[in-house]
């Protein structure tokens, strides 16, 4: 089967399809948008997510344009066209992000609303019925909490590929679910801009774009991307890190050891387990490593989808 992966992060665009190819051999996962779209507009890919700001009641009433764009593209991949073969499944993947870490249910609610809004924009009944059916049959929405780098902290080899030295010491212990990422590394938590002298020497207007994530305002201890940048820090570099989401992150994700992730306690990685559970159902086969047990997140589990689901799983 052909599965379109429609992510909102560059790391996932580069690596998630390859990683899933290994998890479900014999099936083909490809990233959307196409390489040509990316070549034409390299600064504006992939599709923007809608979780980068804290979602509110208003977001549920009027879903963000980014959510509508995701639904629109997913529907087209599911439908296919005279010039494009339809995907058998479409998986839309967005990060929970720290801004919405306390309200993943609201993200799902906004996405459901976006699907309804999209359907409301289709005027012809026959197109509407077909689109509604296809969205329910082929398209899923999954979350990564809080962001894709959290997965790497369950696999020392992924951390190594991302550029971390002494990666085995950075892997989270079994008490911490990577989807609820938290580090107590005192050096990281206490770091300041002075730990990045090349950056500190720059004028203020240039720092904003270059500074590592951990120097921002988000809660540092819960920020896996920030921690990864810190672990890969290069004080003499203006970005203060060697970690690149596109190359290092993409390669780390493409080669991630699924068995490391699924050997975590059964109550870890509930959102990831829901993704795999959904794919297993859609593809009609178990992952290469055998069935993945454990607790799936009720938010995005195919098997726990609501009666009035608008997509396969929400």
Which residues are at the interface with other proteins (CB under 8 A)? 30, 33-41, 69, 72-73, 75-76, 79-85, 118, 122-124, 126-127, 130-131
Provide, rounded to whole angstroms, the least separation between the CB of residue 36 and other proteins.
4
Instruction: Report the residue number, 124 or 307, with the smaller CB distance to other proteins.
Output: 124
| Closer CB to other proteins, 31 or 229, in the complex | 31
Among 134, 81, 90, 92, smallest CA distance to 2 is for: 90
Strand partners, 139: 90
CA 113/CA 306 separation, integer angstroms: 14
Nearer to other proteins, 125 or 173 (CB): 125
* Shortest Cβ 252–other proteins spacing (Å): 23
Residue 12 CB, shortest distance to other proteins, in Å, is 18
| Three-state DSSP class for residue 1 | coil
Check if the beta carbon of residue 89 is closer than 8 Å to that of residue 134: no
Nearer to other proteins, 83 or 209 (CB): 83
Closest CA to 251 of 164, 178, 177: 164
Closest CB 291 distance from other proteins, rounded Å: 31
Question: Min. distance of Cβ 223 from other proteins in angstroms?
Answer: 31
And the tokens for 94?
A: 């967005």
The Cα–Cα gap between 227 and 197 comes to: 18
CB of 35 to other proteins, least distance (A): 3
Q: Indicate the angle between helix axes 65-79 and 104-120, nearest 10 degrees.
A: 60
Contact predicate 155/254, CB 8 Å: no
Q: How far is it, in rounded angstroms, from Cα 22 to Cα 36?
A: 25
**Smallest distance, Å, CB 138 to other proteins?**
13
Cβ contacts of 264 within 8 Å, gap of 6 or more: 154, 174, 177, 178
Return d(Cα 16, Cα 252) in angstroms, integer. Answer: 10
- The residue (of 19 and 139) whose beta carbon lies closer to other proteins is 139
Residue closer to other proteins (CB basis): 83 or 175: 83
Closer CB to other proteins, 42 or 290, in the complex: 42
């Amino acid at each position: 089967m052909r599965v379109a992966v429609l992510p909102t992060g560059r790391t996932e665009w580069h690596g998630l399809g390859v990683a899933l190819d290994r998890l479900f051999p014999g099936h083909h996962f490809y990233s959307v948008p196409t390489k040509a779209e990316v070549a034409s507009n390299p600064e504006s890919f992939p599709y923007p997510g809608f979780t980068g700001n804290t979602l509110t009641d208003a977001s549920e009433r009027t879903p963000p344009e980014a959510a509508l764009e995701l639904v629109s593209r997913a529907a087209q991949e599911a439908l296919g066209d005279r010039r494009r073969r339809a995907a058998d499944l479409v998986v839309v993947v967005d990060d929970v992000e720290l801004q919405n870490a306390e309200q993943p249910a609201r993200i799902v609610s906004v996405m459901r609303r976006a699907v309804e809004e999209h359907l409301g924009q289709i005027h012809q009944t026959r197109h509407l019925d077909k689109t509604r059916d296809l969205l329910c049959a082929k398209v899923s929405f999954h979350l990564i909490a809080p962001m894709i780098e959290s997965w790497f902290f369950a696999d020392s080899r992924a951390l190594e590929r991302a550029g971390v030295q002494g990666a085995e010491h950075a892997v989270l212990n079994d008490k911490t679910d990577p989807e609820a990422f938290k580090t107590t590394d005192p050096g990281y938590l206490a770091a300041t801009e002075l730990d990045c002298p090349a950056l500190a020497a720059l004028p203020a207007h240039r720092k904003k774009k270059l500074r590592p994530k951990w120097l921002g305002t988000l809660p540092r201890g819960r920020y896996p991307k920030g921690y990864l940048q810190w672990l890969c820090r290069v004080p003499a570099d203006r970005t203060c890190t060697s970690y690149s989401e596109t190359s290092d992150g993409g390669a780390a994700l493409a080669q991630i050891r699924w068995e490391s992730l699924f050997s975590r306690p059964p109550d870890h990685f509930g959102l990831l387990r829901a993704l795999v559970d959904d794919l297993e159902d859609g593809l009609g086969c178990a992952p290469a490593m055998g069935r993945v047990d454990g607790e799936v997140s009720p938010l995005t589990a195919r098997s726990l989808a609501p009666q009035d689901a608008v997509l396969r799983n929400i």
